Every structure is written in structure tokens, then in C-alpha cells.
Amino acid sequence: MKTIQFREAICEAMSEEMRRDESIFLIGEEVAEYNGAYKASKGMLDEFGAKRVIDSPIAELGFAGISVGSAMNGNRPIVEFMTFNFSLVGIDQIINNAAKIRQMSGGQLNCPIVFRGPTGSAGQLGATHSQAFENWFANTPGLKVIVPSNPYDAKGLLKAAIRDDDPVIFMESEQMYGDKGEVPEGEYVLPIGVADIKREGTDVTIVSFGKIIKEAYKAAEILEKEGISCEILDMRTVRPMDFEAIFTSVKKTNRLVILEEAWPFASVSSEITFQVQENVFDYLDAPIRRITTADTPAPYSPVLLEEWLPNFNDVVKAVKDVMYIK
């Protein structure tokens, strides 16, 4: 094993796949000459050249559309959005073309493409740069949605996404690019749609994904000192979602808390809540608790932003609620 940063895991995954398959290229704003806005494509222009690592204009609709057409003609583009907030400019190409072309062509065309970049908040960036759209994309049949929380999962799942024959939304975080973690020295690929138990426990299941899962880890450490054993399940993939892993854990712990950095209405946690009560209701010893952001646009004020975001104290409180501890 070796220890690398999250941004290096992303770069390694893309570079390894581009060495393996010449139909893969990377396109986006500042991905080439600047080595990526977050240095996640550092050195790739030097290795692969300007035909395969392409600096685009500030025109998401344009380069998303070019890439979708390229994928339909046999290439495998990796499209980097500087943030998924900017993907809204090109979302018509993702929702109406990439996600639907296989069905609308009667299976004659597929669209092997990855749209990747940061999701969620990253400090004081204001309301329009702090949004999480996992549930938007996951609501669309034809798209797979991956939200890793560490370098190991990011590299293995990005390689799987690039090899997938259908469009994949791959969501990262500006605040995770410097995170370090162990990855294997050699080749590995992780399966899409498989959750991972990050911490074994017996009293309560905490389900989460992406960078906000760190708050669950903090809460679990605090609760362990109070004799409460938390099982933490990292979904890793939002669609397809590994509901069986959630059901199995809930059958063991009989309690569920869901932690998500997104607005509460029609969120991923809403769907998890429905699926659990539909399929394993009789195993629950307490109502399900979900923890989300406040139901408002993200504030710029650091004091308000701290209140708006979920944190480990919210998780501790929710766990104690389902444990009936005051």
C-alpha cells in the first residue's frame, strides 16, 4: 500500500485508464495547462498531449455536448466540471442526451462518459457554489451516481466509472482533495453499487456518503466512550444504491440514522427512509432519523454556514434519540 492524496487518486485513475485505452480523453476548464483547478490532472497534459487533455472555454453546455456526441461515436470522455454547480449550464446534455440515448436509439447507441467534479459546500462560497445535486442526478434513469469519501474508494470507483458503458456522475469535494489515504500499489477496480462498512457496530446504523461521513466518524468516537456502538455504512454509490447492505445492517442494529449534506426535501435520505420502512420495518426499534442541511440556500456568513451544515453534534443527538437516551 502507499499513501496518496485524494487528488492524486483521481489523477492516477484517469492516467492509468488513458494508458490502457486510447479512446479516453479528459476535457474541462483548466484541466491541461493549469494541471486542473484542484491539481487533479497534474502532469497529464505532458504525458498525453493536447489532443487527449483538452482545455475548454467556460462553456459547460458546449463541452458537455461535444463529449456526449464523442461518446456516441466510440470515445470515452471524462468531463470535468470545476464544480457541479456549473453543470447546471450543461444539464440538458446530461439528462436529455447522455442518460436517454441508449433507450431512444433502441440500443443502437450507448454513451460511455464520466462527468466528474466537486459537489456540496466548500466553505464560504455562497449559495450558488455550495449545492449538492446527487439526488437530482440519481432521480434520472440511465445515470449512475458515485460519491466517494476517501482516496481508496475514489480511485477504484473512478476506474470502474471510466470503463462503464453508460454515463456516470462522479462527485468529489474541494475539501477532500488534500485528504490522504492508503491505496494499493498495483491495479484495482471497485464495483459500482456496492456499499462498504467503514466501522462495525451493534447498537445503531449510520448511513452516509461523501465528505460529510467524517462527521459520523467523529460522532462514533464520542459515542463509543459512552458505551454506544455505531456501525457506519458508506454508500459510495448513490445510484444504483446498495439497499441490501442497509437492510442487513438495520436487521443487526435495529436503529438507523442517515447523514447527508443536502437539502431535506426529496433527498437521498428520503428514499433510504422509504426503502427501509417498506422492506425491514419490523426490525426497527425506533423511528428513523435523518440529518441534512437546513432547508435554505447556503449562507455566506461563517456563523450561519456552521449552523446550516450537519455536524457530529447533530449525529450524536440523533443517535441518542433513536437509543432513547436523554
Low-confidence ranges of the chain (pLDDT < 70): none
**Percent of the chain, pLDDT > 70?**
100
CATH topology agreement for domains 2-183 and 196-323: yes
What b/e readout covers 172-194, taking b as 16+ CB neighbours within 10 angstroms? bbbebbebebebeeeeebbebbe
pLDDT at 326: 83
pLDDT at 235: 98
By C-alpha distance, which of 233, 266, 210, 264 is closest to 84? 210
Predicted structure pTM score:
0.97
pLDDT at 37: 96
Strand order in the sheet with 53-55: 53-55, 24-28, 76-80, 114-118, 168-172, 144-146, 237-239
Cell numbers at 157, concatenated: 470507483
Instruction: Compute the distance between CA of residue 230 and CA of residue 236 in angstroms, rounded to an integer.
Output: 18
**Where are the domains positioned within the chain?**
2-183, 196-323
Tell me the pairing of strands 196-199 and 230-234. antiparallel
Could you tell me if 98 and 142 are in contact, meaning their C-beta atoms sit under 8 angstroms apart?
A: yes
The amino acid occupying position 116 is R
pLDDT at 35: 96
Residues identified as active-site: 60, 129
Instruction: Compute the distance between CA of residue 194 and CA of residue 34 in angstroms, rounded to an integer.
Output: 34
In this structure, which CATH number among 3.30.360.10, 3.30.70.20, 3.40.50.970, 3.40.50.1580 belongs to the domain 2-183? Answer: 3.40.50.970
The CATH code that applies to domain 196-323 is 3.40.50.920
What b/e readout covers 68-99, taking b as 16+ CB neighbours within 10 angstroms? bebbbeebbbbbbbbbbbbbbebbebbbebbb
pLDDT at 56: 97
